[in-house]
């Protein structure tokens, strides 16, 4: 009797990206999540975050899906569904964008700076990456370069070797549109970003 061979593994994308990040493919319908994690009047310090994803050869990844999940300015994660009749001050807390939506494969989110979620934790944003060439989603975090004291106390950041902590810290950037941060995410190589098993 002949045995069937194991089905080969497949990467997580980019097939899914056509519906998850419709904008980057020019489709005329909206994605269910966007790069806006806040409403026009959401309380907190408004910031923007940009970044790029680079592969092991230092080449930009132009078709990745980047998801952000964060707490509000008081350190609370959203636990209720989004109200379809949402108000201008509503905090969404979750966003998704493709790296093909901006020139230079840059991703960009508009949000507020998150608060402390638990004792000794530094303000941070959880990041999930989905892309071709990866057999599973990748999980990492973004910390802020101007939160030095809080970063020094953060238990997760301090669980990393000292030479790897900097891979999670977004540098502050100045812009005409307000305060922002930039993070380079390296998938492999000497500057490889710290990823977590979740």
pLDDT tops 70 at residue 9: no
Percent of the chain with pLDDT over 70: 82
Q: Is the peptide bond before 14 cis (omega within 30 degrees of 0)?
A: yes
pLDDT tops 70 at residue 16: no
* pLDDT tens sequence across 45-83: 999 999 999 999 999 999 899 999 999 999 999 888 776
Question: What does the H/E/C string look like for 2-45?
Answer: CCCCCCCCCCCCCCCHHHHCHHHHCCCCCCCCCCECECCCCCCC
Distance, CA of 145 to CA of 28 (rounded, Å): 38
Beta bridge partners of 138: 129
pLDDT band (50, 70, 90) for residue 12: low
pTM reported for the whole predicted model: 0.86
Instruction: Measure Cα distances from 62 to 4, 14, 77, 81, 106 in Å.
Output: 37, 10, 30, 31, 8
Distance, CA of 150 to CA of 156 (rounded, Å): 12
Range of weakest confidence among 11-15, 20-24, 35-39:
11-15
Per-residue pLDDT, 79: 84
pLDDT tops 90 at residue 117: yes
Distance, CA of 17 to CA of 188 (rounded, Å): 22
Per-residue pLDDT, 19: 61
- Rounded to the nearest integer, the mean pLDDT of the chain is 87
* pLDDT tens sequence across 127-156: 999 887 777 899 999 999 999 999 999 999
Nearest-5° angle of CA 95, CA 122, CA 60? Answer: 45
Beta carbons of 97 and 105 less than 8 angstroms apart:
no
Q: Pairing between strand 94-98 and 107-112?
A: unpaired
Beta carbons of 27 and 73 less than 8 angstroms apart:
no
Instruction: Measure Cα distances from 14 to 72, 77, 160 in Å.
Output: 30, 29, 30
Per-residue pLDDT, 123: 98
Per-residue pLDDT, 7: 58
């Amino acid at each position: 009797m002949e045995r069937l061979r194991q089905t080969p593994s497949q990467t997580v994308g980019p097939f899914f990206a056509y519906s998850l990040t419709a904008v980057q493919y020019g489709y005329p319908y909206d994605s269910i999540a966007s790069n806006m994690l806040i409403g026009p009047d959401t309380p907190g310090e408004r910031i923007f975050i940009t970044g790029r994803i680079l592969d092991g050869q230092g080449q930009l990844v132009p078709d990745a899906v980047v998801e952000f999940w964060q707490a509000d300015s008081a350190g609370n994660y959203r636990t209720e569904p989004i109200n379809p009749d949402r108000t201008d001050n509503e905090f969404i807390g979750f966003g998704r964008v493709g790296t093909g939506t901006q020139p230079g494969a840059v991703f960009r989110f508009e949000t507020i700076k998150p608060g402390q979620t638990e004792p000794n934790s530094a303000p941070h944003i959880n990041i999930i990456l989905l892309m071709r060439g990866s057999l599973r989603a990748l999980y990492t975090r973004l910390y802020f370069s101007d939160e030095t004291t809080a970063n020094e106390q953060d238990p997760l950041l301090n669980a990393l070797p000292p030479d790897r902590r900097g891979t999670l810290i977004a540098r502050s950037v100045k812009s005409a549109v307000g305060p922002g941060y930039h993070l380079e995410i390296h998938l492999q190589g000497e500057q490889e970003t710290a990823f977590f098993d979740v």
